[in-house]
Amino acid sequence: MYNLFGNVTDLLIHHAERRPDHPALIDGKRVIDYRTLNSLVWRTATHLRSQGIKPGDIVGLAMGDTPDHMVGLLSILRCGGVLLPMDCRWTDAEKKNVASFFGATATLSDMGPIPGLRTLVVDGVWDAAVAGTKPDAKFPMDPDAPIWLSLSSGTTGIPKGPMLTHRQVALRFFCQSVTLGFCQNDTHLLATPLYFGGGRGFTMGHLFLGASVHFSPPPYQPIELVERAAKVRPHSLFLVPTLLRRLLDLPTPDGPLFPSLKVLISSGSILHGEERERVKRQLSPNFINLYSSTEGGSVTTLPPDAGPEKAGSVGRASFMNRFEVVDEHDTPVKTGEVGRIRQTAPWVPAGFYNNPEETKKYFKDGWYYPGDLGKVDGEGYLYIVGRAKDMIIRGGVNIYPAEIEDVLNRHAAVHDAAVVPWASREMGEEVAAFVVLHGKATEAELREHCRQHLAPYKVPRGVFFIDQLPKSNLGKVLKTALVERLPKMGA
């Protein structure tokens, strides 16, 4: 009897028995079927126990984007450990700081020992020890035991991390299947790092169902990803908006670049309405824009059949999720009014681990507040207006950068744009726009373009041309870095 709401790795045993020869992980010529994957995970989990890892211990994972990463991840969960994701590209000091803050018992690494940390090095010696280990048939089955720390992608300091349970993660996988249409016969192409929530979550979600995952992680050139997809013919692919925009710059053949996809998913930052229509034409007509967060999971989805008039929205509520737009008193606002977005779902955690101050800011009465501002139309479609911290207050009037960015991005010469507050002695804040061009345009032309579509007080006081916008690995614009580049008003 298999417990879907026990240890999530219990499903590997099920898949190993019902479809043992079905490919689970594929990396070039290396193919690991479910029989082999389950054996590897069971042996590795037993070996982890022999190294002193006990149920409830937090275990860091700093490994490259390979099948071995997934074996290590699943093995930590199988033996009852709590996964602490760590980007293998971090410096040793960053890894040590995060492991120390969250109290990691040990860290798995395939890049050698990490100074100052108890490191379990995954190398030839490790592999030999695992191969000689007899699997232990017993492992924890409590569905409400912690499974991993869902770290945010913070750019400074220690990332925030709520501790999720096996039950909550399993429910997120059910949401994926219902909302995005994943099934056991699918092939997923992994094209983002496993450290990040999307890469890890969609890979795990497919393994949960017994599907196959092909590895094609970065770095790569856009054309290389297209060529890889042509060989693999995947059913699903997740890409952040930055990668989508690079793919849109490629020459367009007679049909879409990814004809095999039954779903192309994007999340991580705002995708403007005109860009969505281009993605559907040039990349895949089966494009879903997913509004979600590492901490809170899926909030809304905008399916392919939503008309172009909804292109600027992020869709309606995802399966089992409920959201509201509320004022400063947590009272829902009227249709069309701007307020703070909050969500509640059975997979939303109670707060951030070891961080009560941040928990008070983002979690309240069973609701999670992701920090975004939005509005809802009469049909229940959610529109992201911007981050609460990015809102510009000019002379006491609230201005939402996303609205101005959308107008700028509709100009034929604009490739990308970001709007930030510009400190002003007279108005408190003015509007500044940073623009990346792929054609010719002057500051005066772009300001006039904005004037034709926006109220006068929303027109940027200054437009600054830049070769590329500073972005995180998830494609989010680092607006603080842009604000730091602004000259003093009047200079």
pLDDT, residue 153, reads: 54
Q: Is 415 helix (H, G, I), strand (E, B) or coil?
A: strand
How would you label 310-334 residue by residue, b for 16+ Cβ within 10 Å and e otherwise? bbbbbbbbbebbebbbbeeeeeebe
Give me the CATH topology for the region 10-180. Rossmann fold (3.40.50)
Tens of pLDDT along 227-248? 999 999 999 999 988 789 889 9
Comparing 136 with 396, the larger pLDDT belongs to 136
Q: Which two tokens stand for residue 422?
A: 């510009």
**What CA–CA distance (Å, rounded) separates 335 from 333?**
7
Could you give the percent of the chain with pLDDT greater than 70? 96
Q: Residues 179-211: pLDDT tens digits?
A: 999 999 999 999 999 998 899 999 999 999 999
d(CA 1, CA 374): 45
Residue 99 φ/ψ, nearest 5 degrees: -60, -40
Question: Is 97 within 8 Å of 158 (Cβ atoms)?
Answer: yes
Whole-number Cα distances in Å, 167 to 3, 4, 477, 483 = 11, 8, 33, 42
pLDDT band at 71, cuts 50/70/90? very high
Q: Can you tell me the mean pLDDT for 43-62?
A: 96
Give one DSSP letter per residue of 9-41, joined into a string. Answer: THHHHHHHHHSTTSEEEEETTEEEEHHHHHHHH
Span 284-299, mean pLDDT? 93
CA distance 377 to 54: 50
Check residue 107 and give its pLDDT.
Answer: 98
Instruction: Flag whether pLDDT at 491 surpasses 50.
Output: no
Q: Which of 248, 238, 252, 251 is nearest to 272 (CA)?
A: 248
- DSSP secondary structure of 194-250: TTSHHHHHHHHHHHHHT-EEEE-PSS--HHHHHHHHHHH--SEEEE-HHHHHHHHTS
Task: Using pLDDT thresholds of 50, 70 and 90, give the confidence band for residue 6.
Answer: confident
Q: Where are the beta strands (DSSP E) in 295-427?
A: 297-302, 316-317, 322-326, 339-344, 363-364, 367-368, 372-376, 382-387, 392-394, 397-399, 414-424
Look up the CATH number of domain 220-388: 3.40.50.12780
- What is the rounded average pLDDT of the residues 462-487? 89
| Res 151: pLDDT | 85
pLDDT for res 2? 55
Report the pLDDT value the prediction gives residue 154, as an integer from 0 to 100. 46
Q: What residues does CATH 3.40.50.12780 cover in the chain?
A: 10-180, 220-388
Query: What pairing do the DSSP bridges indicate for beta strands 119-121 and 146-149?
Result: unpaired
Q: Pairing mode, if any, of strands 316-317 and 297-302? A: antiparallel
Strands 428-437 and 414-424 turn out to be antiparallel
DSSP string, 110-171: SS-PPTTS-EEE-SHHHHHHHHTPPPPS-----TTSEEEE-----SSSSPP--EEEHHHHHH
The C-alpha atoms of residue 38 and residue 89 are separated, in whole angstroms, by: 28
In the chain, ranges of CATH 3.30.300.30 domains: 391-483
The amino acid present at 220, given as its one-letter code, is Y
Angle (nearest 5°) at CA 195 between 176 and 168: 40
The predicted structure's pLDDT at residue 89: 86
Question: What pLDDT, on the 0 to 100 scale, is given for residue 473?
Answer: 67
Cis preceding linkage at 219, omega within 30 = yes
Q: What tens digit of pLDDT does each residue of 329-371 get?
A: 999 999 999 999 999 999 999 999 988 988 999 999 999 999 8
Question: Pairing mode, if any, of strands 397-399 and 392-394?
Answer: antiparallel
Report the alpha-carbon distance of residue 131 to residue 213 in Å, rounded.
24
Tell me what pLDDT residue 391 has.
Answer: 85
Edge-to-edge strand order for the sheet containing 236-239?
Answer: 30-33, 23-27, 212-215, 187-190, 236-239, 263-266, 287-293, 297-302, 316-317
Distance of alpha carbon 237 from alpha carbon 217, whole angstroms? 12
What's the CATH class of domain 391-483? alpha beta
Name the more confident of 5 and 18: 18
To which H or E segment does residue 290 belong?
Answer: strand 287-293
Neighbours of 366 (CB within 10 A): 10
Vertex 154: Cα angle to 63 and 191 (nearest 5): 45
Q: What is the pLDDT of residue 155?
A: 37
User: In the Cβ-directed half-sphere of 381, how many Cα atoms lie within 13 Å?
Assistant: 17
